[in-house]
Amino acid sequence: MLTLIISALILGSPGSGNATAFYKDKVREIAASAKIPLIQVEYKSGKKTISFESAQFEYAKESAKCNTIFQAASLSKPVFAYIVLKMADKGEIDLDKPLFQYTDIERFTNKTWAKLLTARIVLSHRTGLPNWATSPYSDEWPSSQIEFKVRPDSCFGYSGEAYALLQRAVEKIRGKSLEEIAKEDVFIPFRMTNTSYLWKNSYDSLAASGYNDKGENRGPGKFPRANSAYSLRTTAADYSKFLTALAKGTGLNKKTHREQFTPLVNAVYKLGNERPCDQYIFWGLGVGIEQHPELGNIIFHWGNNGNFKALFIIVPAQKGRPASHLVYFTNSSFGHDIINQIVPLFYNNKTPLQISDWIK
């Protein structure tokens, strides 16, 4: 790895054309070995930026403007969490007020437990809910019944269904749709012109198709409705703009920003099936936190829509190194297999990230 870093320095400082070409070549090798057709990457450290898109096979075309649109999957959630925290700072929502006071809970079979749910509990994934009651892409989902797995606030339990509940509350409070709210609070202020929770006409020519583990083209996938948990589409360059704001706490009170990145719960992914990696992973408000011996408390989130996988990490400033972030999007079911190859390329860490094992 030292050889890679020295080579990058010889080719040019990060952000220069030579350095970008160097990293693109290395990432292409990594992605090709994992059978990932297309990958889009942006790394930002201080004023230095490396941004590129790489196609590994003839059937996958990279755009000249690096503006292919990818499903962000669960990278949708941190954007929505940021919106909720901004609303809390403005007094529009109370993070500790039961959500049933903002919206209905008719779909829940256990109304007593449903009345315990708050925005803070949702954002830290302590709701006790399943990921989904049924497929959120289905016609049945909006009226499907939701059953709790465990009592709310008892342990970590990742849930898109919980985010959907919070989305309904936010839409009721603001009297607007998720897309309208996101435009006002995030997309327009941060100039994320290629980003949307809904399908845009421009995506007809720009959206990547996803590939399954058999290498079959499964298309770009069009969702029936905007969903704060999974329906975001974007580019690495656009999402990087959001990460810059997220890392700085732009638009948030200092106390709120500090709380967002503070571990609230140990993120044991499967209760009763604890793994060694779990002891390093925690959850704050809308983001994961890995306690890493070299890189410090890494802020992260991963995205998994089956044939689209993505990841971002925010690495705090350390001696001689400014705060930085890395985000990548892939159109492949193998997109998470490269975490501990691509991250050391940019950070030169010797200790692998536990995120890689944790999300598997």
| Structural domain of 212 | 2-75+191-358
Q: Is pLDDT at 202 greater than 50 in this prediction?
A: yes
Same domain, 197 and 233: yes
What share of the chain in percent tops pLDDT 70? Answer: 95
Same domain, 153 and 28: no
Q: Is pLDDT at 342 greater than 60 in this prediction?
A: yes
Between the alpha carbon of residue 311 and those of residues 32, 46, 301, the distances in Å are 18, 20, 6
Amino acid at 20: T
- Whole-number mean pLDDT of the chain? 94
What share of the chain in percent tops pLDDT 90? Answer: 91
Same domain, 281 and 304: yes
Q: Please give the model's pTM, rounded to 2 decimal places.
A: 0.94
Same domain, 102 and 136: yes
Same domain, 196 and 286: yes
Q: Residue 237 and residue 177: Cα distance in Å, rounded?
A: 25
Q: Residue 285 and residue 194: Cα distance in Å, rounded?
A: 26
The DSSP result for 152-201, as a single string, is: TTSS----HHHHHHHHHHHHHHHTS-HHHHHIIIIITTTT-TT-BSS--T
> For the chain, how many structural domains are there in total?
2
- Cross-strand bridge partners of residue 265: 283
Boundary-marking domain end, from 144, 178, 212: 178
Same domain, 201 and 324: yes
Residues 1-22: tens digit of each pLDDT: 444 444 344 334 444 568 899 9
Same domain, 10 and 157: no
Task: Check which CATH number belongs to the domain holding 323 and give it.
Answer: 3.40.710.10
Same domain, 164 and 241: no
**Quick one: pLDDT at residue 16?**
52
Residues 126-163: tens digit of each pLDDT: 999 999 999 999 999 999 999 999 999 999 999 999 99
Q: What value does the mean pLDDT take over residues 185-214?
A: 97
For residue 183, is it within any domain? no
Structure-block tokens of residue 355:
């995120």
For residue 15, is it within any domain? yes
Residues 66-119: tens digit of each pLDDT: 999 999 999 999 999 999 999 999 999 999 999 999 999 999 999 999 999 999
For residue 184, is it within any domain? no
For residue 186, is it within any domain? no
Q: What value does the mean pLDDT take over residues 285-313?
A: 98
Same domain, 58 and 111: no
Residues 301-328: tens digit of each pLDDT: 999 999 999 999 999 988 878 999 999 9
Boundary-marking domain end, from 131, 148, 178: 178
Residues 219-266: tens digit of each pLDDT: 999 999 999 999 999 999 999 999 999 999 999 999 999 999 999 999
Q: Residue 124 and residue 288: Cα distance in Å, rounded?
A: 9
Same domain, 66 and 87: no
State the number of CA atoms in the 13 A half-sphere of 156 facing the CB: 24
For residue 103, is it within any domain? yes
For residue 127, is it within any domain? yes
**Quick one: pLDDT at residue 13?**
42
Nearest CA to 70 among 95, 39, 94? 39
Boundary-marking domain end, from 178, 205, 228: 178
Same domain, 351 and 235: yes
Same domain, 147 and 295: no
For residue 314, is it within any domain? yes
Sign of CA dihedral 47, 26, 56, 232: negative
**Quick one: pLDDT at residue 271?**
82
**Quick one: pLDDT at residue 295?**
97
